[in-house]
Amino acid sequence: MDNATLEELKERLLSLKQEITFRIKKNNEKVNNIQVKGDEGDFSNAVYSREILYDLIENDRNHLKDIEEALYDIEKGTYGKCHRCGKEIEIDRMKAKPTAKYCIRCREIVESGR
């Protein structure tokens, strides 16, 4: 990977990190502001909204973890290399998904193993 592309992807990862950190904070505030009281209908609505927010937060946390791993890889100088076979990941793939950890071939293997 050339330096310009690396810098570009690093910038994207950093702004994504900021964006997601902010969103997690906002969603946490929303969870805290949900009033679980009132009649039964209000109550299940509140529980339902909270479930959705928890899911969003959970997704964002996982995404954040991937971003932090990617940033750590950049520091180590191993960014853009497949975590399984060690080959360089296709550059188009990295641009489409800067947190990609596996090349297309390995991703299929890893995912089918689940």
Binding site for Zn ion (CB under 5 A): 82, 84-85, 103, 106
Q: Which residue's CB is nearer to Zn ion, number 37 or number 76?
A: 76
CA distance 48 to 40: 12
28: left (phi over 0), alpha (psi -120 to 50) or beta: alpha
Nearest distance in Å: CB 96, Zn ion: 16
Q: Which residue's CB is nearer to Zn ion, number 7 or number 88?
A: 88
Residues 6+ positions from 37 with CB-CB distance below 8 Å: 43, 46
Nearest distance in Å: CB 101, Zn ion: 9
Nearest distance in Å: CB 51, Zn ion: 36
Q: Which residue's CB is nearer to Zn ion, number 36 or number 85?
A: 85
